A and B are shown apart, each in its own frame.
Chain A
Amino acid sequence: MKYFFLIFLYMTSSFANVGKDNDHLYKKVKPFVFQVKTSQSADSSKASYGTGFVVKGREGLLLTNYHVVSTYIQDEDNRYKIFVTDKENVFEAEVLDFSVIYDLALIKIKRKFSKELILKKEKPKRGETIYSMGLPKDLNISLVKGNYNGVIKSGIYERILMSTPVNSGMSGGPTVDKDGKVIGVNVSILLNSQNISFSVPIQRGRELIEKFKSRKEPLKRENYSEYIKEQLGTIEKNLLSSLEKNPGKSNTVGEWEFFPPDETLKCWSKNDYSEKRTFKYSRQSCFLKGAAHIDRRIYAGSYELMFLSLEGLNRNRYQFASIVDSYLNGKDYFKNVYTKFSSKKELTKFSCNEGIWTNKHDIPFKYVYCLNGFVKYEDVYSLYFKAASLTDKRKSIIVKFKVDGFTKDGILKFVTDQMDSIKRTEAM
């Protein structure tokens, strides 16, 4: 079976190469694609690497991902520098502008180019063949082929969905159409999937260049933190305003009704009612598709929600309480909290508390929350919040929120809005 699978894979890949020869495209794009690395000196080993491509030849401007140069931007001790290399030459680069929202960075090198890659203005058609270029796993400049599958919008975040087999190291490389015009910047892939990859629409790159042009001078190093904070503020404002403007449609779990904060939010539901079970369980988990990458492990400007309805069938009240207890105190949802323990430098300790909260619809909740803050940015916090309703003896709703990188007021508004939206369905 394994052999068969291998042969099958080989066959398809060879078919894929048969179609059209793309060597002209490779030749056309390759001169403008470079490796971008952050390291302590030109020869020393890389702290991180990715790809970048030329957008303004005469000025020597390159576009890449923010996360490719984040080691440099987050580095406070001025240990790291950015280098742009092809096989022969190494140039030191400076950061002119960046956007954590769209994961883009504009860098400048001293070398000048007579030409540059053209940024496409019109939108590509769905299903169009597109190509991604970059240096996967630090090997060689590679061209990979896939299809354009439209733009995914989630809150403020925007990504092109494509099917090119992008690998790590290709981040920041261009996504081009068959004429070699840039339509996006490779940014990420979906883990545990087959060729689901994302790139940032080039429109955002053009905006970044314009923004830099209007300001004229590059960002100063000491202003980076402030600049990031400002962008986080923009994200929060945007997310909260969409909370008011287009609140999600009312949604139900079990006999409970709630309003997810945004209509673009993706919600997954899971129901479980088998005969062997002594309780009924239905769950909706909603999350924003996208987050602002700040540092290697830290993401901000995002939230996750979970609504879980429990109903005890042939359990008595004590037995039901124990099941609610185990669901409320289960550790599964907070797995990602543990990963954050490894980044002690960037985040503060948790401050936790518990209490009872009666919401607008007179439903009392027992809640537990933990709050921590970002060390670099003032007034930016993450909240982990869980609550369980208390009134009924055999029915309960459990909610869990995770809000990352919001300000104090934003967090308060978000949580109170969400908690107050919960009520019983009117059929009851």
Chain B
Amino acid sequence: MIILKIKHPSWNNPVVQKVDSFPCSIGRSIKNSIVLSDDSISAEHAIIEKQTDGSFILKDLDSTNGILFEGKRYGQIVLRDHGHIKCGDVEISTLLGDERLEKTRVIELPKEFQTSKKKRLKRTASSCLAIVLLIVLNEFLADPLRSENWIDILLSSLISLLVLLGVSGMISVVSKVQHKKYDFLKYLDISMLFGVSYFVLLTFHDSIKFFLNNRMAINIFNLFMVFIFFYIYFSKVLYVFFDGKFKKKIDIGLIGSFVFVFAVVTLTAKFNSRNTRFVYNGSYIYTTRNFDKDSYSQLNFVDQLDKSFKTVNEYRQEKLEEKEESKKIEDSLDSE
């Protein structure tokens, strides 16, 4: 058995191919055992044969570009371990399969890595617990705890944990494409930390004083999380598609996530615009939580209403102008 490491100059990563049965033909047409669809390869380019003594040879089948070893063209080449040959433009490295590769190999990892994995697991578990506790606390602040509520709590904690698992799963699947490694625990750890901080903010945002409006703080935090998530996701996904296509190195993930988050923000801002929708998101009662007159606009009701009357009159003018314009357009259409 031999292992071929096939690499084309335009490819990013080499393709590793095991060859078990012989003879094994190489060429551009699909009849071959190994099909290399490149212009420099002939339809039937070469063939690997096993000799009676156990060694392997690569024979040229009268191909246009031939097979090269150290830059020279040969009719046939004896394959060696860690040898480099060329078929047309395609580079092929050969590893001769002896028992070494079949054996289980123990790779010694640095000690720090192992402990950090353990640590990571511990942290994930504790953040799981923290999330559940925060949900219970959140529920308690809204409603007295009764037997009916426990089902709610159970469900909501289950759902939120599942969401976090899903998110980290999605990222790790993408990472598998790129790094050949799932790294699921790493991403789970990150998303769990996000989850904890999110629930902390959700629970205590009414009691903590932010330099901004509370609602604003939550929005910004949300945005930040979305941005980070899409950054990780895009930087992995877009890399697969776009790598090597640009001359300069550009962080496609960063651009992609910026564009995406910008689109989301502008769209939601459009639909959430205060004046077209009556749902009043930002209105929290300050009966028991920060009842602070100073944090409120100092205008009294009458002045505020006065201002509103003015803005409504402006809206009215806008509408009237719109009407006139549409009338003009209609008239011009009629005259035509």
B280: chain A residues at CB < 8 Å are: 329, 352, 354, 368, 370
Q: Give the docked Cα–Cα distance between A375 and B312 (Å).
A: 10
Please tell me which one of the listed residues B144, B275, B286, B301 contacts residue A350 in the complex, with CB atoms under 8 A apart.
Answer: B275
* A412 is an interface residue with CB less than 8 A from chain B: yes
Q: Give the docked Cα–Cα distance between A349 and B304 (Å).
A: 17
Please tell me which one of the listed residues A320, A353, A375 contacts residue B288 in the complex, with CB atoms under 8 A apart.
Answer: A320
* A367 is an interface residue with CB less than 8 A from chain B: yes
Instruction: Decide: B288 and A317 in contact? CB cutoff 8 A.
Output: yes
Q: How large is the interface on B (under 10, 10 to 19, 20 to 34, 35 or more residues)?
A: 35 or more
Contacts A348-B316, A375-B320 given; does A390 touch B308 at CB 8 Å? no
A351: chain B residues at CB < 8 Å are: 275, 308, 311-312, 315
Instruction: Decide: B302 and A315 in contact? CB cutoff 8 A.
Output: no
* A269 is an interface residue with CB less than 8 A from chain B: no
* A371 is an interface residue with CB less than 8 A from chain B: yes
Q: Give the docked Cα–Cα distance between A373 and B319 (Å).
A: 11
* B212 is an interface residue with CB less than 8 A from chain A: no
Instruction: Decide: B285 and A366 in contact? CB cutoff 8 A.
Output: yes
* B31 is an interface residue with CB less than 8 A from chain A: no
Instruction: Decide: A368 and B283 in contact? CB cutoff 8 A.
Output: yes
Instruction: Decide: B313 and A373 in contact? CB cutoff 8 A.
Output: yes
Contacts A373-B316, A390-B286, A408-B309 given; does A322 touch B275 at CB 8 Å? no
Chain A, residue nearest B313 (CB): A373
Please tell me which one of the listed residues A319, A325, A408 contacts residue B284 in the complex, with CB atoms under 8 A apart.
Answer: A325
User: CB-CB contacts of B302-334 with A at 8 A, as 1s and 0s?
Assistant: 101101110111011011100100010000000
Instruction: Decide: A314 and B144 in contact? CB cutoff 8 A.
Output: yes
Q: Give the docked Cα–Cα distance between A375 and B322 (Å).
A: 11
Q: Give the docked Cα–Cα distance between A199 and B287 (Å).
A: 48
User: CB-CB contacts of A402-413 with B at 8 A, as 1s and 0s?
Assistant: 000000100110
Q: Which of A345, A353, A411 has the most CB of B within 10 A?
A: A353
Instruction: Decide: A355 and B309 in contact? CB cutoff 8 A.
Output: no
A318: chain B residues at CB < 8 Å are: 141-142, 288-289
B276: chain A residues at CB < 8 Å are: 349-350
* A334 is an interface residue with CB less than 8 A from chain B: yes
| Surface stretch bound by A, among B8-16, B65-73, B240-248, B291-299 | B291-299
User: CB-CB contacts of A70-85 with B at 8 A, as 1s and 0s?
Assistant: 0000000100000000
Q: Give the docked Cα–Cα distance between A388 and B299 (Å).
A: 18
* A87 is an interface residue with CB less than 8 A from chain B: no
Instruction: Decide: A371 and B308 in contact? CB cutoff 8 A.
Output: yes
* A278 is an interface residue with CB less than 8 A from chain B: yes
User: CB-CB contacts of B124-145 with A at 8 A, as 1s and 0s?
Assistant: 0000000000000000111110
Chain A, residue nearest B274 (CB): A352
* B104 is an interface residue with CB less than 8 A from chain A: no
B278: chain A residues at CB < 8 Å are: 334, 337-338, 350, 352, 370, 384
* A110 is an interface residue with CB less than 8 A from chain B: no
* A369 is an interface residue with CB less than 8 A from chain B: yes
A316: chain B residues at CB < 8 Å are: 144
Q: How large is the interface on A (under 10, 10 to 19, 20 to 34, 35 or more residues)?
A: 35 or more
Shortest distance between the CB of B255 and any CB in chain A (Å): 35
Shortest distance between the CB of B57 and any CB in chain A (Å): 81
Q: Give the docked Cα–Cα distance between A370 and B278 (Å).
A: 7
Instruction: Decide: B300 and A357 in contact? CB cutoff 8 A.
Output: yes
Please tell me which one of the listed residues A320, A337, A357, A370 contacts residue B301 in the complex, with CB atoms under 8 A apart.
Answer: A357
Q: Give the docked Cα–Cα distance between A154 and B283 (Å).
A: 35
Instruction: Decide: A317 and B312 in contact? CB cutoff 8 A.
Output: no
Instruction: Decide: B143 and A322 in contact? CB cutoff 8 A.
Output: yes
Within 8 A of A (CB), among B27-60: none
Instruction: Decide: A390 and B291 in contact? CB cutoff 8 A.
Output: yes
* B151 is an interface residue with CB less than 8 A from chain A: no
A278: chain B residues at CB < 8 Å are: 143-144
Please tell me which one of the listed residues B142, B296, B313 contacts residue A355 in the complex, with CB atoms under 8 A apart.
Answer: B296
* B279 is an interface residue with CB less than 8 A from chain A: yes
B296: chain A residues at CB < 8 Å are: 355-356
Q: Give the docked Cα–Cα distance between A146 and B201 (Å).
A: 64
Shortest distance between the CB of A402 and any CB in chain B (Å): 12
Contacts A355-B296, A375-B320 given; does A369 touch B305 at CB 8 Å? yes
A324: chain B residues at CB < 8 Å are: 285, 287
A356: chain B residues at CB < 8 Å are: 293, 296
Instruction: Decide: B308 and A317 in contact? CB cutoff 8 A.
Output: no
Residues of A within 8 A of B (CB): 77, 278, 314-325, 328-329, 331, 334, 337-338, 345, 348-357, 366-375, 378, 381, 384, 388, 390, 392-393, 396, 408, 411-412, 415-416
A-B CB contact pairs (8 Å), 12 listed: A322-B141, A349-B315, A351-B308, A353-B304, A353-B305, A355-B297, A355-B299, A355-B300, A357-B301, A368-B280, A396-B287, A408-B309
With A278-B143, A375-B316, A390-B291 already in contact, 19 other A-B pairs whose C-beta atoms are closer than 8 Å: A77-B327, A314-B144, A317-B287, A319-B143, A321-B287, A331-B279, A345-B323, A348-B316, A350-B277, A352-B308, A355-B299, A355-B301, A369-B308, A370-B278, A371-B308, A374-B316, A375-B323, A378-B316, A415-B305
Residues of B within 8 A of A (CB): 140-144, 274-280, 282-289, 291, 293, 296-297, 299-302, 304-305, 307-309, 311-313, 315-316, 318-320, 323, 327
9 pairs of A and B residues whose beta carbons are closest in the complex: A348-B315, A317-B288, A322-B142, A351-B308, A351-B311, A373-B312, A349-B275, A318-B141, A371-B308
